[in-house]
Structure 1
Amino acid sequence: MSNIIIGTAGHIDHGKTTLIKALSGIETDTTAEEKERGMSINLGFAYFDLPSGKRCGVVDVPGHEKFIKNMLAGVSGINLVLLLVDSREGIMPQTREHADILSLLGVENYIIVMTKADLAEDGYRELVKEEIEDFIKGTSLEGSPIIEVDSISGKGIDLLLKEIDIQTEKVAEMKKSKNARLNVDRAFQVKGFGTVVTGTLTEGEISVGDELEIYPKNIKTKVRNIQVHKSDVKTAYAGQRTAISLSNVKMEDAGRGCTLATPDTLTQTYMLDTEVKIINNSDSELELWDRVRLYIGTSEVMARIVPLGSEVLEAGKSGFAQFRLEEEVSVKNYDKFIIRTYSPMITVGGGVVLDAAPKKHSRFNEEILNKLKVRLQGNSKDLISNYILTAHNYLITTEEISKELEQNMDSVAADLLELIEEGIVHRMPSGYIHNKKYEEIREKISGIIRDYHEKYKLKPGIYKAELFSKFKINQKELAAIMELLINNKNLKAQGNFISLYDFEVKYDPAQLKEKERIEKILLESKFTPPGIKEITKGDRKSNELLNSLVGATLIKLDDDIVIHTKVFEEAEKKVLKHFENNKKLTLAEFRDVTGSSRKYALPILEYMDRQGITKRVEDYRILGK
């Protein structure tokens, strides 16, 4: 790996700062208070070169219990940890807590360094080494090399450097992304440079001149200057310890807990759905509404915990939980975090964010629990399928999937093709719909139409507008889904009516005879039809049959006037013929063209206006299309 960040961890006064000075020649205790008290309060930074020529950034994280949150800030972005144990004291309380935190945060690469070797007798050092081996057995540290050093005399330093070189070959590359993210662990003012922030660039790259955003303040800023290992550079890459000078930003707006990132790439939230692992300590169980401290990135926020799928988060076990935060955080899915009790402050667990923008939901909601299980497993195809299924919208685009799941477009497109072939998702012009959602809405639409057919047996179907009014989803999405249902021969469209695909109006002999009578009257009367009451002679059944024909073979112009669709089509042809030689059409001209009277001409023209065939301007019409 080209960019390595090494962290030191361990109990207070076990020699972290002295070891870093021995490795790098840089003293990381920089403040007067730190030097006076002989311990690291804030994060110290240095760098050194390995025998292979690789350069390592190194973070000296404090060991004192009171400064554990600074240690958590330092862990963000670390690839390899040197866990220090004093050869004279062995495993101490903060050694255990640091090891727990590192394991919970998913750090996989360690070297255990036994410091102050010259001050301990050989036999005692062997006992301490045995204690370390017992301590790491069954943990993520098991099998880690143990190196004895003395930072003052230099004993073992060369051996440690060689071992670091070996271990760095095992370190995985930082996640590649076009979007940058740096969790800020320090901010300060430098004369001539303004506000400077430092941290490990955990994703993407940052170049001079880039426009970035400071979360959660939502402040836009521009990169003025970048330093990596005290040298000016044009671009910093994921995995590098970086100092960045920002324009138009106050120091108080960019301190620890803030995140510098590509605009619009982080989720700002007061809730998190997560998987939590509780350390194996009987005092560490967490119950509903327990108040905890949550550390994520370089932020510390208070939160209430809501176990999901269980009543209690048990010691030594993993489970799902929702956190209700007292302050907003800016995160992404799969970010790691640590939780500590409110008081006294004891590390009890940690975990991973599975949904950075959840809603409040039932604690035992099977759909939510299944979604979290899929996200935890991390299979890209399953993640895409689950996202399309659980997203608020019915139709999801490739771009939305790529952004939400942080996968490149090509891999998303390849997975979608497989999901289509497997019948899990359907492709549509405006996006993808999950088969479960498709079936769900198909059943609902079919049920509504089926009920309508039962109630109105002589109607060719339900009006499209009436059907759409029964759904509270995006109308464009619904129209696209309806089109797919029609193409799949689930539904049938007839003008403005939607019916089930195999539905047909069935008339008994008497109804068929009455239908033919009504249609004959309207075809013969053309543009001067008799009123509805006159046609039906006030008969209820005749009136019901006439209304069932509206939208199919008849057009209702107002409460008492209907015309046959063929008559209307003839009127439309006459109007279009008129506009071949004229730019305007008056009511009188239309009346003369059709041989009707004002009583009929006006409602026919108004219906044409509604259909977009004509458009009224003052007291005349122009061509609408």
Structure 2
Amino acid sequence: MIATAGHVDHGKSTLVKALTGAEPDRLEEERRRGLSIELGYVWTTLPEAGEVAFVDVPGHEKFLRTMLAGVGPVPAVLLVVAADDPWMPQAAEHLAALDALGVSHGVVAVTRSDLADPAPMLARAREEVARTSLRHAQVLAVSAATGAGLDELRTALAALLGRMPAQDPGTDVRIWADRAFHARGAGTVVTGTLPAGTVRVGDRLATGDGTVRVRGVQALGTQRDQVSGVARVALNVVADDKVEIERDTVLVTPDAWHFTTSVDVRVVGDGALPEHPVLHIGATSMQVRARRFDDAHARLTLDRALPLRIGDRALLRDPGTRELWGVRVLDPSPPALRRRGASARRAQVLADLDDRPSLASELERRGVAPADLLRRIGVPVPAEADEWLVGDRARRLIAERMVAVVKAYDDQHPLEPGMALPALARALRLPSPELVGRLMPQELRLEQGRVTATAPRIGLPDAIERGVAAVETDLAQEPFAAPTADRLRELGLHHKAIAVAARAGRLLDLGDGIVLLPDAASRAAAWLSEIPQPFTTSEARQRLGTSRRVALPLLAHLDRAGLTTRHADDRRSTTGHRVAGGA
């Protein structure tokens, strides 16, 4: 696909008609006035290049917006200047726009070579394009009236298209609509350039406000089942109730693009950028608010969300002076700027970025980022990647911070150490508790949903140590005569203190305020194995010399530990399992 560019009345439409045999001026007013007002498009077949579409754009200064809508999504250009005219303002303006957009694939045609010697304009055109992204463009003299040079032009255009990189038919679709109208018997029709990807009949495309269903696809005047980019397409679409299709609508693959109203960019061009320039991207234009960070970087705030990716190229235009600046999208999902000096710091960050998306670069800068967002802004992310991705530097910093936070929490809560996963995630400002487990260093351990220090505690707090020592004395002669609730309170062993001692292996906590020494289970199993089997609860209570209050939870614990077997008649038998030290 090739777009034309050049000054009004320099023969763009006439040259396109000579190349294709078709009239690109579609409107009656265009034919009456002899100039292009809206975008026109026609097509032909070029040797060794196949079918080629031409987007014919207006050259009059009043229709610069329409011109930019035509060249914005198109990767190659045919710049047309007349041999019988001087170098004109719109030719310079169009060339400046192409240079700002970074268009490097093009051919320059010096038309009307039958009316004047083309040599001076050939030299001037070469001089002008040499300073731009079109510096390698071939410059040819042609005449649409006599046909001179047309074969050479066709050959140059075919060679140009042959040098252009092939587009991926499987990539995400984004179509900037340059026309939207109602066709009798068909309904809504949208036209635009498909830069890459594939559109099929039956596809659903998103607009940011909802979705549309593609009912028909046309390319080069022919109905197709599917079309792959680069291509000029007309789509017959059926929209959801809430979706309004109009010029400037953008149609994209659903759930594949990040719609944003804030974007950080690199600005290429001289002069002071106005506070409210007009943004031209694809076939869309809108006034935006520009916040300069430095001479080369700015944040643009948009009136409505657009699907943007890293590396997108656009234009900023001062509607008063018509001055142009090129734009390279660096971050379509930038952070909020709230602190003093944030603009200067942001400029330093952006200065180190280029417009080629890199996963390593994004993670180094963002620290923690959702994989889905990175994919939507154009970063290559492996299909098997986790939901949240973490950069290497962020991983180290989070691990260090996690150790400090957990140790501080444990110090402040000695009787109940260990932070719950959600609380730790909030303390570390992590977006998901799942990340805590992934990023937890070896110094920490996760038990029952809480993170605590892995190093075992040495000893117990003094108050708890004194209480446990008293229990050990109480149970020395009668190991199953558990202390009463009053005795535990007297010793300062409330439920948190008991839990701490149990985790340290100094007490066996049977619940409901019943505690024994840690070897009570193995000793009980050994004592019970000496009485006739099976035995009743009463017989067990008598052998252990304890009360029913202690015997019931102790027997239940022995059952769970596999040291006894409970029978259907509620009697039990020991299983012969003994723990070392329990005699």
TM-score bracket for this pair, using the shorter chain length: 0.7 to 0.9
Q: Specify the alignment match of 1:86 in structure 2.
A: 82
Residue 482 of structure 2 is aligned to residue 504 of structure 1: no
Aligned with 1:229 (options 220, 239, 245) = 220
Q: Specify the alignment match of 1:561 in structure 2.
A: 513
Q: Specify the alignment match of 2:579 in structure 1.
A: none
Shift of 1:442: 1.6
Aligned with 1:407 (options 363, 368, 380) = 380
Residue 285 of structure 2 is aligned to residue 300 of structure 1: yes
CA offsets, 1:391-436, max 9 Å, x none?
Answer: 5856x55x77555535374xx77xx9xxxxxxxxxxxx87643222
One-letter amino acid matched to 2:53: G
Q: Distance in 2 between matches of 1:366 and 1:523?
A: 72
- Three-state SS of the structure 2 residue aligned to 1:101 is helix
Q: Specify the alignment match of 1:169 in structure 2.
A: 162
- Three-state SS of the structure 2 residue aligned to 1:127 is helix
Q: Specify the alignment match of 1:477 in structure 2.
A: 434
Shift of 1:373: 5.0
Shift of 1:231: 1.4
Q: Distance in 1 between matches of 2:368 and 2:4?
A: 46
- Please state which structure has a larger fraction of its residues in helix: 1
Q: Distance in 1 between matches of 2:302 and 2:521?
A: 64
Matches within 5 A, 1:28-107: 28-52=24-48, 54-107=50-103
Computing the radius of gyration from Cα coordinates, the structure with the larger value is: 2
Q: Specify the alignment match of 1:116 in structure 2.
A: 112
- Three-state SS of the structure 1 residue aligned to 2:406 is helix
Q: Specify the alignment match of 2:394 in structure 1.
A: 437
Q: Distance in 1 between matches of 2:67 and 2:241?
A: 25
> Per the alignment, do residues 463 and 401 of structure 1 end up closer, same or farther by CA in structure 2, a change over 3 Å counting?
closer
Matches within 5 A, 1:420-459: 432-452=389-409
- Three-state SS of the structure 1 residue aligned to 2:280 is strand
Shift of 1:508: 9.7
Aligned with 2:354 (options 358, 376, 385) = 376
One-letter amino acid matched to 1:16: K
Matches within 5 A, 1:71-470: 71-120=67-116, 122=117, 125-213=118-206, 215-218=207-210, 220-248=211-239, 253-278=244-269, 280=270, 284-286=271-273, 290-308=275-293, 310=294, 313=295, 319-341=296-318, 343-344=319-320, 346-361=322-337, 364=342, 372=350, 375-376=353-354, 378=356, 383-390=358-365, 393=368, 402=375, 404-405=377-378, 407=380, 409=382, 432-452=389-409, 461-464=417-420, 467=424, 470=427
Q: Distance in 1 between matches of 2:166 and 2:397?
A: 43
CA offsets, 1:561-618, max 9 Å, x none?
Answer: 3635959989xx9xxxxxxxxxxxxxxxxx99x976679989x99xxxxxxxxxxxxx
Q: Distance in 2 between matches of 1:551 and 1:326?
A: 59
- Three-state SS of the structure 1 residue aligned to 2:354 is helix
* Contact 2:316 2:326 (8 Å CA) reproduced: yes
Shift of 1:327: 2.4
Q: Specify the alignment match of 1:616 in structure 2.
A: none
CA offsets, 1:542-562, max 9 Å, x none?
Answer: 99976742644458899x936
Q: Distance in 1 between matches of 2:354 and 2:475?
A: 67
CA offsets, 1:367-398, max 9 Å, x none?
Answer: 755664565252x6xx212333455856x55x
Shift of 1:237: 0.6
* Contact 1:149 1:156 (8 Å CA) reproduced: yes
- Three-state SS of the structure 2 residue aligned to 1:439 is helix
How well do the aligned residues superpose, as a CA RMSD in angstroms? Answer: 4.3
Deviates more, 1:447-456 or 1:294-303: 447-456
Q: Distance in 2 between matches of 1:446 and 1:453?
A: 11
- Give the TM-score normalised by structure 2: 0.80
Q: Distance in 1 between matches of 2:430 and 2:475?
A: 40
One-letter amino acid matched to 1:84: V
One-letter amino acid matched to 1:88: D
* Contact 1:430 1:480 (8 Å CA) reproduced: no
Shift of 1:519: 5.0
Q: Specify the alignment match of 2:568 in structure 1.
A: none
* Contact 1:185 1:199 (8 Å CA) reproduced: yes
Structure 2 runs not aligned, ≥5 long = 526-540, 557-583
> Per the alignment, do residues 524 and 532 of structure 1 end up closer, same or farther by CA in structure 2, a change over 3 Å counting?
farther
Q: Distance in 1 between matches of 2:94 and 2:521?
A: 83
Aligned with 1:549 (options 495, 501, 518) = 501
> Per the alignment, do residues 435 and 58 of structure 1 end up closer, same or farther by CA in structure 2, a change over 3 Å counting?
same
One-letter amino acid matched to 1:376: D
- Three-state SS of the structure 2 residue aligned to 1:27 is coil
* Contact 2:144 2:150 (8 Å CA) reproduced: yes
* Contact 2:258 2:376 (8 Å CA) reproduced: no
Q: Distance in 2 between matches of 1:495 and 1:600?
A: 28
- Give the TM-score normalised by structure 1: 0.75
* Contact 1:62 1:68 (8 Å CA) reproduced: yes
